[in-house]
Chain A
Amino acid sequence: MRRALFAVLVLLPLLAWAAPVRIGSKQFTESVVLGELARIHAREAGIDAIHRRELGGTSILWAALQHGDIDVYPEYTGTITHELLKDVAPDADIATLRAKLLPLGIGITDSLGFSDTYAIGMREDRAAQLNITRMSDLASHPQLRFGFSNEFMDRADGWPGIRQRYGLPQTQVRGLDHTLSYRAVASGAVDAIDLYSTDAEIPYYHLRTLIDDRHYFPPYEAVYLYRLQLERSAPAFVAALRTLSGRIDMAAMQRMNAEVKLNGMKESDVAARFLDVPLRGGDAGFWRRLLQRTVEHVKLVALSLGLAVLLAVPLGILAARWKRAGQLIIGLTGILQTVPSLAMFVFMIPLLGIGTWPAMAALFLYSLLPIVRNTHAGLVGIPLELRESAAALGLPENVRLRRVELPMATRSILAGIKTAAVINVGTATLAALIGAGGYGQPILTGIRLDNIGLILEGAVPAALLALIVQAMFEGIEHWLTPRGLRIEARQ
């Protein structure tokens, strides 16, 4: 009886315990600020929430939301109509969207109070010189060079759409990172870029926003998308989220963006100040941050590499043993290698969601080729007469492999592992895009905020880690290479 009571007392807190609500944000300042607003607002309401910031573009966030890796993220109605739901009118109102999202298990709040629509902007002096005020004026200047954010280049309501609507003749169109495109237009490297109407840089860089005189761009009302399941599991959170609707107007959002991007304030501080709540939980110190990222980064590299070795060495052995299988194995791992790393990370989301595991899976796949190829080359490179000498002794095949062939191929195999490790350290910086942290996190933030210091905070340790890994493997190579082979190599 007493024991049962004791058990209940111990288990009671577990019943009350709920997983924190997971908020995601895209890789641009406004999205991160809106994510922080949701997190701090929830915290003030006594709800535990975490913010996985800068997860990447729309496709990553939407996949993560559907997959259940995040519970909520800020989105724009125009993006929902154009990118996420294929069968709604471009100017559908929020009630219509709500009805369409319902079967997907996704809820939508009312507008937060501002619309962040796309626009085309030019430097004020250049636009004045060419007498361009409206987007239709662009049609008579085919020589203009455009620099559009990569997402804008590809999405249906981006460049392909406006080119058609306005009959634009320009051929010099380049894809740029959005935060870099401001510097490109300011320096004159391009003449026009795509903007978000709440961007803080518009006044800062003296840009002219061209009038959308054919009303091409749909409204981009800011909203939160969330998993409807939250209405049962965390109703208080959903209630708190809804109270943010209508509270943020265009000027407020532009101001918050400017405070982060131009004044270097932290998103959490800006959000807390907007909500008029005290700041809490200070900034982790530099060394603490560095340590945490190092742990994340090393974990990604070490585990993915370790698993890759376990699979790739046997594959390399198979490839060396059977020529036909070898061509297939090396061909397939080679194809994996040609998948652009960013795409590889994104491909992992539908399978594994976001965070450490999909990043590790992508790095794992990347590590296979160098190890398979070097294992194969190391084994195939053993002189025929030595392989036959081992056979002529009367040793069975597996003993020959273990005692003669693998030791002789040690150096080549280790070189393959080293190559994979060094590449992995670099590629793992992209893992931050899908929420796996590591040294990529400050690099992403640094690019977004145009903050070289932050970029270096990620890039320098990543480079150092690559050098350390390289040196470490050279040590291992020296240590593991049979002495007889080293003596032979010296002669």
Chain B
Amino acid sequence: MSGTAAMTPAAFALERVSKRYASFVALDEVSLSFASGSTTALIGTSGAGKSTVLRLLLGLDWPDQGVVKVGGQILQHADVLSLRRRVGYVIQDGGLFPHLTVLGNLALLPRYLGWRAPQIHARAAELAELTHLSPDLLERYPAELSGGQRQRVALMRGLMMNPDALLLDEPLGALDPLVRHELQDELKRIFAQLGKTVIVVTHDLAEAAWFADRLVLLRGGKVIQDGDLEDFRRRPADAFVTRFLHAQRHLPESSA
């Protein structure tokens, strides 16, 4: 795969994309590309435009200027449904449908695409194993699950159709630190195991560096820095990057 990386088109790319919501500039002439099979973390403060990148890649929003490319092709309205079926999308609170059980949530798209019940059950069991979700939770409703369990289910739903890519928007943002820590481990393992194109949005630098080699820092709708953690440390693009790096709090040294 890696040998042909230069030849194959990027899984996703933004070319000089601008997007504004009313007077708020979410993205300002941003160009970014995401290689197939790579894991990238988008970081930045809230309102920096991170989530907008994911929304544009899924056709949930459309750029005011510039183009979005998927697999080298300019994204058209007509392609959106098939694109979304090849991409798993996980948001902060999971976005699970409260009126459906876990299995109902997982089955929504496959059933529409004509999968039979045994096939759906088998895939759900497989993903439960992958995400370490207890299989007897499959019949529960979202309201009967813990926050961590809900995120595991959201990830399972995103993976149901075995997509080419996973887009995660603050997937662990609403969890308490212990669960978050545990899920960070699991997500990293799953990303490595599946080898898919992954783009994860987070405002937590440590989490970003844990998941991905490539970090993209956004601020005010612009890419400030794009590189690995070492680049950020050694060659910060500006004072903001340095401040962002130092804003991570460490536990105080033990006084004993």
Tell whether B143 is near chain A: CB-to-CB under 8 Å: yes
- Chain B residues near A484 (CB-CB < 8 A): 97-101, 141-143
Tell whether A87 is near chain B: CB-to-CB under 8 Å: no
Q: Which B79-128 residues have C-beta < 8 A from chain A? A: 80-85, 89, 91, 93, 95-101, 108-109, 112
Tell whether B58 is near chain A: CB-to-CB under 8 Å: yes
Contact between chains at A482 and B91 (CB < 8 Å): no
What 0/1 readout, one digit per residue, does chain B (27-57) give for beta carbons within 8 Å of chain A? Answer: 0000000000000000000000000000000
- From A2-10, A33-41, A132-140, A383-391, the one touching the partner chain is A383-391
Contact between chains at A408 and B84 (CB < 8 Å): no
Across the A-B interface, the 8 shortest Cβ-Cβ residue pairs? A389-B95, A394-B84, A482-B99, A484-B141, A394-B85, A488-B143, A392-B89, A487-B143
- Nearest-neighbor residue (CB-CB) of B102 within chain A: A484
Contact between chains at B144 and A487 (CB < 8 Å): yes
A107→B35 CA distance, assembly (Å): 92
Q: Which of B60, B97, B99 contacts A392 (CB 8 A)?
A: B60
- Chain B residues near A99 (CB-CB < 8 A): none
Q: Taking A487-B141, A487-B143 as contacts, is the C-beta distance between A394 and B81 under 8 angstroms?
A: yes
Q: Which A351-409 residues have C-beta < 8 A from chain B? A: 385-386, 388-396, 399, 403-404, 407-408
- Chain B residues near A396 (CB-CB < 8 A): 81
Which of B80, B93, B100, B101 has the most CB atoms of chain A within a 10 A radius of its CB? B100
Chain B, interface residues (CB within 8 Å), range:
20 to 34
Contact between chains at B112 and A399 (CB < 8 Å): yes
A491→B143 CA distance, assembly (Å): 8
Contact between chains at B100 and A482 (CB < 8 Å): yes
Contact between chains at B142 and A488 (CB < 8 Å): yes
A487→B83 CA distance, assembly (Å): 34
Contact between chains at B93 and A385 (CB < 8 Å): yes
Contact between chains at B143 and A391 (CB < 8 Å): no
Contact between chains at B108 and A395 (CB < 8 Å): yes
Chain A, interface residues (CB within 8 Å), range:
20 to 34
Interface of A is mostly: helix
5 interchain pairs, CB-CB under 8 A: A391-B60, A393-B109, A394-B81, A482-B98, A487-B143
Which of A386, A388, A389 has the most CB atoms of chain B within a 10 A radius of its CB? A389
Q: Taking A484-B141, A488-B143 as contacts, is the C-beta distance between A394 and B82 under 8 angstroms?
A: yes
Contact between chains at A483 and B141 (CB < 8 Å): yes
Q: In the complex, what's the smallest C-beta–C-beta distance from B61 to chain A, in angstroms?
A: 10
Tell whether A265 is near chain B: CB-to-CB under 8 Å: no
**A-B interface contact total, Cβ < 8 Å:** 75
A386→B97 CA distance, assembly (Å): 7
- Chain B residues near A403 (CB-CB < 8 A): 108, 112
- Nearest-neighbor residue (CB-CB) of A406 within chain B: B99
Q: In the complex, what's the smallest C-beta–C-beta distance from B26 to chain A, in angstroms?
A: 16
Q: Which B140-175 residues have C-beta < 8 A from chain A? A: 141-144, 157
- Chain A residues near B97 (CB-CB < 8 A): 386, 389-390, 404, 408, 484
What 0/1 readout, one digit per residue, does chain A (285-324) give for beta carbons within 8 Å of chain B? Answer: 0000000000000000000000000000000000000000
A390→B99 CA distance, assembly (Å): 13
Q: Which of A385, A389, A407 contacts B99 (CB 8 A)?
A: A407
Contact between chains at B108 and A392 (CB < 8 Å): no
Q: Which A47-104 residues have C-beta < 8 A from chain B? A: none
- Nearest-neighbor residue (CB-CB) of A487 within chain B: B143
Which of B58, B82, B97 has the most CB atoms of chain A within a 10 A radius of its CB? B97
- Chain B residues near A386 (CB-CB < 8 A): 95, 97-98
A403→B99 CA distance, assembly (Å): 10
- Chain B residues near A393 (CB-CB < 8 A): 84-85, 89, 108-109, 157
Tell whether A485 is near chain B: CB-to-CB under 8 Å: yes
A391→B89 CA distance, assembly (Å): 10
- Chain B residues near A399 (CB-CB < 8 A): 112
Q: In the complex, what's the smallest C-beta–C-beta distance from A46 to chain B, in angstroms?
A: 66
A404→B89 CA distance, assembly (Å): 17
- Chain A residues near B80 (CB-CB < 8 A): 394
Q: Which of A385, A483, A491 contacts B91 (CB 8 A)?
A: A385
- Chain B residues near A482 (CB-CB < 8 A): 98-100
A243→B93 CA distance, assembly (Å): 85
A393→B158 CA distance, assembly (Å): 8
A488→B82 CA distance, assembly (Å): 32
- Nearest-neighbor residue (CB-CB) of A392 within chain B: B89
Contact between chains at B109 and A395 (CB < 8 Å): yes
Contact between chains at B81 and A385 (CB < 8 Å): no
- Nearest-neighbor residue (CB-CB) of A489 within chain B: B143
Q: In the complex, what's the smallest C-beta–C-beta distance from B211 to chain A, in angstroms?
A: 20
A419→B84 CA distance, assembly (Å): 40
Q: In the complex, what's the smallest C-beta–C-beta distance from B113 to chain A, in angstroms?
A: 9
Q: In the complex, what's the smallest C-beta–C-beta distance from A400 to chain B, in angstroms?
A: 9
Q: Which of B89, B93, B99 contacts A408 (CB 8 A)?
A: B99
Q: In the complex, what's the smallest C-beta–C-beta distance from A104 to chain B, in angstroms?
A: 61
A408→B108 CA distance, assembly (Å): 14
- Chain B residues near A390 (CB-CB < 8 A): 97, 108
A404→B81 CA distance, assembly (Å): 17
- Nearest-neighbor residue (CB-CB) of B109 within chain A: A393
A390→B98 CA distance, assembly (Å): 12
A394→B143 CA distance, assembly (Å): 24
Q: In the complex, what's the smallest C-beta–C-beta distance from B1 to chain A, in angstroms?
A: 25
- Nearest-neighbor residue (CB-CB) of A409 within chain B: B99
- Chain A residues near B109 (CB-CB < 8 A): 393-395
A390→B81 CA distance, assembly (Å): 11
- Chain B residues near A389 (CB-CB < 8 A): 89, 91, 95-97
A404→B142 CA distance, assembly (Å): 14
A410→B98 CA distance, assembly (Å): 12
- Chain A residues near B141 (CB-CB < 8 A): 483-484, 487-488
Contact between chains at B98 and A485 (CB < 8 Å): yes
A491→B97 CA distance, assembly (Å): 16
- Chain B residues near A407 (CB-CB < 8 A): 99-100
- Chain B residues near A388 (CB-CB < 8 A): 60, 91, 95
Q: In the complex, what's the smallest C-beta–C-beta distance from A410 to chain B, in angstroms?
A: 8
What 0/1 readout, one digit per residue, does chain A (137-150) give for beta carbons within 8 Å of chain B? Answer: 00000000000000
- Chain A residues near B144 (CB-CB < 8 A): 487
A437→B110 CA distance, assembly (Å): 53
- Nearest-neighbor residue (CB-CB) of A386 within chain B: B95
| Known interface pairs A389-B91, A407-B100; 18 further A-B residue pairs with C-beta atoms within 8 A, sorted by A's residue number | A386-B95, A388-B91, A390-B108, A392-B84, A392-B89, A392-B95, A393-B84, A393-B85, A393-B89, A393-B109, A395-B109, A403-B112, A404-B108, A407-B99, A408-B98, A482-B98, A482-B99, A484-B100
- Chain B residues near A488 (CB-CB < 8 A): 98, 141-143
